[in-house]
Amino acid sequence: MTKVLIISASPRRNGNSDTLCDRFAQGAIDEGNQVEKIFLADKKINYCRGCGFCTKKGRCVQEDDAPEILDKMIDADVIVFGSPIYFYCINAQLKTLIDRCLPRYKEIKNKTFYFLLTAADNAPDTFDEAMTALDGFIRCLDNCHVEKVIKGIGVYRPHEIKENHAYEIAYIAGGEV
């Protein structure tokens, strides 16, 4: 059984990227995998202060929900990031979590990643900057790779993703973990 951790960075529960996360989860569950979803909007995650405390002590000086999420990331076999695209990049919630991985990023290793991204725009380059940010994170991790990037393009209103090809692709990808 594969341990799948889904991190939904959507600020809107049941928004398009969050719905895509749920669809991926259902595919993974239907194939017998262990799935946990974290809705970042329910968590308190402070910005990295860049103070360097974590490089000396192996933990962040701040007291919030980031350490609990890092534990789950380290324990998972598969990590799924779901994010809406804001101004052509991942949103602040996901970027803040990524920055807070600093104290333990070397322990996030041997993982398979999936990225579930949604955007209102449908230009061909809509996801380029988001992919640069996400690829930069993956490059810092040991023996991790991106298995699939699922892009829900041209979706803005809640539930529009259900009419998008990405909705079914997310379910299939979840079943293939």
Tokens read off for 172: 């299939």
Question: Is the Cα torsion angle 146, 19, 27, 96 positive or negative in sign?
Answer: positive
For every one of its 177 residues, what pLDDT tens digit does the chain have, with 9 covering 90 and above? 999 999 999 999 999 999 999 999 999 999 999 999 999 999 999 999 999 999 888 899 999 999 999 999 999 999 999 999 999 999 999 999 999 999 999 999 999 999 999 999 999 899 999 999 999 999 999 999 999 999 999 999 999 999 999 999 999 999 999
- Domain locations in the chain as residue ranges: 3-175
**pLDDT value of position 58:** 86
Do the Cβ atoms of 103 and 58 come closer than 8 Å?
yes
Tell me how far apart the alpha carbons of residues 173 and 150 are, in angstroms, rounded to a whole number: 9
pTM of the model: 0.97
Query: What is the CATH topology of the domain spanning 3-175?
Result: Rossmann fold (3.40.50)
